[in-house]
A and B are shown apart, each in its own frame.
Chain A
């Protein structure tokens, strides 16, 4: 896949929405890229007709699921594997309701999501009711998924990755859009869909050297989903990769990021009139205030932990999620995108409120690294382990909560299996990436060992 400079095809002005709904313009959706430093509203990349078709089909799928099974939203919204208290749409509605009747949604344990969601959904409410199956919410979530797929395709064709052998655009788009984990997360109306879209957007803009936009997107993403803040070190590599990675430029982007984050934080302050929201959102996430089962390691551990040791292990668990960031960034400094992907994968294990949508996002990011696939050794095994846990998790949860014929250990065991499966994927792909770094994948016939 060749990348041509945007200046060759500057006269094509297709917006993203046009691409989605005009399939007769497939001919013009060639494998091209815009480098639109001057016009930010221009699309990053144009897509071929297969990608357009995949996006179109995904939009149809989401609309028809919502239309045919209106109860699916609340059903999936109740599933602890799919949404957590940090992303639940029902709690978002509660927070929005409190905000609209003039109470602070953060004065209490009801609402733990970022203030920016309140703004967004309040704005969405102007166009219609904000129930999970209403038109405006449907459009918003479908759009978020489509733009995520679009960003993924853009990353795949970006100069940072284009020299390698990539999967076809439509495969990458379809891997994201038709991933059952992603579809389920979307239908459950988890707000992680929106924060994921901004995170992928910031990667995409960074790949096209639109660093300011990328910084803003990352600030929004980390404002909405705290653990995205761990991506800042690899992002610094990405932002400064075209220039010399000097202290000055690193400081500049770090300063920009902090300014943008502080700006977003102060929006929350001005919306609610106090800094109370910080403890209600990030505080309850960091200290694991809301004890609800999920696919992660935290809930049962802290449920069973002795009171005296609870603070100690809270710190240890948070440190555990943080401790990978710098080593991975340093080791993969030549592959900042791979470092980002690895950190996304590891936070999927170690974050306090993980959900299966995180895994969907991670798999989609992995699909960008076609060149490491030959070196992946346990793909089948890991896939089976994950599949096993994903099939059993809802069943065991049902046994425990609804039938009473199982107990909490069932779902706990499944979360352990899920974590082990994720660990296998992460270590396997990390090793494969380092193998490529070692000799550029030059001689796959030679076996390597680590010493």
Chain B
């Protein structure tokens, strides 16, 4: 049954990518596929989803484990980037997911995340991977190897993913490959102790920028020179409301150990159309002239001289090249989808009948009132124009299964609380989900203060419930400088209910060198991850979304003080030590019993001076020493007594 499943899957992959016959013919060869989906969103935003898929040659006997028999690893990668292939091979990575995300996805306006949130990360950089290892420690070492290699490859600070930022084996994530490697390994029979370990790490502070995009594009066969990837210009992509770059590597195997490396790269961008147009016309923002103003005519005071401008104009007219700064250059000839020459698409626009499309170059593949698809041609430039008189009319995205917001409570820098509100908008269905949170070790949560409060919009009565809503809690406490807190909750939220999760935490101080240069900005707390489980499919993945990251302000020391503190504290300690030992070691006498001869200073010093003189004179007058040796001794004693 398992073998059948694997073949069915392989078949499905082939079918979705190209013709079945094509799949059978070129099943051993590597391939590449790219597409772009454009979708206007409310308030003149545009969602552009770039999709690239690369898969390697089919290799027989992929070396899953360094077993006794050394099966042949991939001889050559084909279109698959060798840099990634070598990294995943040397670290025994079976699945790798890497996300670079900036901005905020407005769920209430824009609805579902693209691809059901599968390829959207949390703010900053997020990475998780399934890695094979005979022991957990071995896999963990490979994980650090992997993130360090990725750090170099993508110019990101992934090397800062250390044990304190790594969460092992969270249940929120599900592997993409259907054939689990552990069963493969077990079936292979030689190394049965090896198994896969999941690691998750995130860097919420990482600023995603053009230095991450450039290496990202270099992995593509056409390297951003031709095809839809030629649109990806850092200046435009990162001037967006929300953008997410994803790289997903999956080792896809069948039951005969025939495997191929499969990599999906995605770039999803929400562009603010008006801002992009404005940026093109004049880099310096300035108010539009009166004749270009679009007024809200429904206002009572509206007249020729008084205008209340519309927040987003209804009448818009723009082209793809206006937003991205250039047209799509050529066609990426390695794109196997269009190898047949006909009936495949590259660029699709999802619109409503109120929109008009104009094409420049390319060829129409299909066109309906809600969707128009085009293919790119060789030696051609491609551009689409979008125009409408009602920009608010967009094809509606479904609302997400839940809404979430997370915030910090409390004041001061000693302690605080975190409050997460999850809202289920559905009227009929309850939602079961997993809420994952990893906190840095310098946040010290109190799990006994964790409270789940359910408030129903119908009854508006809030009750503190635990068991009915919180099905399960997975928790691993932090350890200073070693690991952070990991918290995972299995939740079941009734329809139209609002669940408030809250707990207290303490803040701690760090060592001087552990503070970043801008310590008073605060520390970023990674976003929480909600994984909604589908009801029908026995708890498999249905949707994923992230909360925003939080800014945690910690108390800071005076950074200029190290020497002062060392000196002052040591002085106080020495003071106590000196005084106590002075009292302890010396003996008491009555003052009156101490013989104290009051000899003037001159007299006390005289014998010494004379002594010095005599020595200076040498052996000429040794008698002076012998004048009054008794007095000399007396004087020394009294000196000692006084000190």
Q: Which residues of A contact B (CB under 8 A)?
A: 78, 80, 90-91, 93-94, 96-98, 103, 107-110, 284, 289-293, 297, 299-307, 310, 320, 323-324, 327-328, 331, 346, 349-350, 400-402, 407-409, 412, 416, 419-420, 423, 426-427, 430-431, 434-435, 438-439, 446-451
Measured between beta carbons, the chain A residues less than 8 angstroms from B446 are 90-91, 93-94, 110
| Inter-chain contact B572/A419, CB cutoff 8 Å | yes
Cβ A292 vs Cβ B584 within 8 A: no
B592 and A423 contacting across the interface, CB-CB below 8 Å = no
A426 and B588 form a contact (CB under 8 A): no
Does B518 sit within 8 A of A, measured CB to CB? no
Evaluate contact between B479 and A408: CB separation under 8 angstroms: no
Residues of A within 8 A of B447 (CB): 94, 97-98
Cβ B557 vs Cβ A408 within 8 A: yes
The residues of A that contact B589 with a CB separation of less than 8 Å are 448-451
The answer to whether B294 has its CB under 8 Å from any CB of chain A is no
Q: What is the bound-complex CA distance between A346 and B413, given in angstroms?
A: 31
Contact B412 A292 (CB under 8 A): no
One of B396-404, B419-427, B470-478, B540-548 at the interface: B470-478
User: Which residues from chain A contact B584 at a C-beta distance below 8 Å?
Assistant: 327-328, 331, 430, 434
Number of interface residues of B (CB under 8 A): 54
Given A108-B478, A110-B478, A449-B589, the answer on whether A300 and B580 have CB atoms closer than 8 Å is: no
Closest chain B CB from A118 CB (angstroms): 13
CA distance A174 to B557 in the complex (A): 40
Q: Tell which of B477, B508, B565, B594 touches A301, judged by Cβ atoms closer than 8 Å.
A: B565
Interface majority SS on B: helix, strand, loop or mixed? Answer: mixed
Q: Shortest beta-carbon distance, A437 to chain B, in Å?
A: 8
**B342 is an interface residue with CB less than 8 A from chain A:** no
Query: With contacts defined as CB atoms under 8 Å apart, how many contacts are there between chain A and chain B in the complex?
Result: 164
Q: Which residue of A lies closest to B581 (CB)?
A: A327
Alpha-carbon distance between A80 and B507 when the two chains are bound, in angstroms:
12
Q: Which residue of B lies closest to A106 (CB)?
A: B477
B residues less than 8 Å from A350 (CB atoms): 573
Contacting B591 at CB < 8 Å: which of A98, A103, A446? A446
- List of B residues within 8 angstroms of A96 by Cβ: 448
Contacts of A323 in B (CB 8 A): 577
Chain A residues with CB under 8 A of B55? none
Task: Using known A-B contacts A108-B477, A400-B555, A430-B580, determine if residue A451 contacts B587 with beta carbons closer than 8 Å.
Answer: yes
Bound state CA distance, A292 and B554, in angstroms?
A: 12
Q: What's the minimum C-beta distance from A199 to chain B, rounded to whole angstroms?
A: 21
Say yes or no: A409-B444 contact (C-beta < 8 A), given A290-B480, A293-B509, A402-B412: no
* Chain A CB within 8 A of B286 CB: no
Alpha-carbon distance between A446 and B511 when the two chains are bound, in angstroms = 53
- Residue of B478, B566, B569, B581 with highest tally of chain A CB at under 10 A: B569
Q: Return A112 CB to nearest CB of chain B, in Å.
A: 11
Residue of A nearest to B555 (CB): A401
Convert B447-482 into 0s and 1s, putting 1 for each residue whose CB lies closer than 8 angstroms to a CB of A: 110000000000000000000000000011111100
Residue pair A303, B509 in contact (C-beta under 8 Å): yes
Residues of B within 8 A of A420 (CB): 572, 575
With A291-B509, A401-B412, A430-B584 as known contacts, state yes or no: A305 contacts B477, CB within 8 Å: no
B-chain residues with CB within 8 Å of residue A307 when the two chains form the complex:
511, 513
Q: Given A109-B441, A328-B584, A448-B590, are A427 and B579 neighbors across the interface (CB < 8 Å)?
A: yes
- Of chain B, the residue at the smallest CB distance from A331 is B584
Which residues of chain A are within 8 angstroms of B561 by Cβ–Cβ distance?
Answer: 304, 409
Bound together, the chains give a CA A299 to CA B512 distance in angstroms of 12
**Residue B631 at the chain A interface, CB threshold 8 Å:** no
